[in-house]
Amino acid sequence: MGELRLNGKVAAITGGGSGIGREVALLFRQNGASVALLDRDLEKLNQVKEEIGAGTEVFCVDITDEADVQAAFSKIKAAFGKVDILVNCAGIFAPGTATETDFAQWKKIMAVNLDGAFLCSKYAAAAMLAAQNGGAIINIASEAGLAAIGGQVAYNVSKAAMISLSQCMAVDYALDHIRVNCVCPGRVLTPLVQHIIDTAENPAETLRELSSDRPVMRMGNPLDIAYACLHFADDSMPYATGAVLSVDGGYTAR
């Protein structure tokens, strides 16, 4: 095995039960980090914990509930002694223009995608400040936060706000050596997207449509995003904070 880039670090990962969060957890553990998995689905959390093995703990938490988040980070500190890294992967999606979007749906998307990222960042940053040893926060936003994609206004706005959250925190905590960066994935072939393809009337055509709207002519995979997170999580780029990294197959470059 090569160099363990996160050896001795403790990483908290939201949305750790599936998709990008799961892949981030696997890669971080392979690179020496102890991993705290946060998700609402305890069954999925336990499946990932079993997959990863030692050095992993699960925390069933509603990231939209401040008391729940505060308690979860207290438990993480009790279990591991510290928090060095936070990756905010948890997120939900719903389509709709402004006139098509129900206000309750709007608030739900904002609650998970933005409020959840804020609350987890708040309590992770507090733990990092108390330890006085710096840290890294990585927010998973989206290409949709950089370029308006039609028919998904609430999701777009929530992800644009995550980018701003990342930049604001980067400025506020720069002298505390807490680096806050943002990864903006393009469309990623997660289990959810695979389900959309599998249940489509013409799966092959749906796959083609979902792959052909970007220069590289394919969707990303969760590992593409996990490696971007790893670059921000280790100590190899101490000057990078407030950065916004597109990992979208060239979608936003056009």
Instruction: Please tell me what DSSP assigns to residue 174.
Output: G
Class of residue 252 by CB neighbours under 10 A (exposed 0-12, middle 13-18, buried 19+): middle
CB 234 within 8 A of CB 140: no
Q: What does the block give as tokens for 243?
A: 């950065």
Task: Please compute the mean of the pLDDT values over residues 65-80 and round it to a whole number.
Answer: 98
Q: What does the block give as tokens for 227?
A: 């490696």
SS3 173: coil
pLDDT in tens, 98-149: 999 999 999 999 999 999 999 999 999 999 999 999 999 999 999 999 999 9
Catalytic residue among 123, 155, 173, 251: 155
Count of all residues that appear for the chain in the document: 254
Task: Please compute the mean of the pLDDT values over residues 26-30 and round it to a whole number.
Answer: 98
CB 10 within 8 A of CB 1: no
CB 6 within 8 A of CB 32: yes
Instruction: Answer whether residue 220 shows pLDDT above 70.
Output: yes
Is 239 labeled as catalytic in the residue annotation? no
Please give the C-alpha separations between residue 106 and each of 58, 94, 111, 175, in angstroms, as whole numbers: 29, 9, 9, 35
CB 165 within 8 A of CB 139: yes
pLDDT in tens, 166-180: 999 999 999 999 999
Residue owning tokens 């305890």:
42
Domains of the chain, CATH where assigned: 10-185+221-247 (3.40.50.720), 190-219 (no CATH)
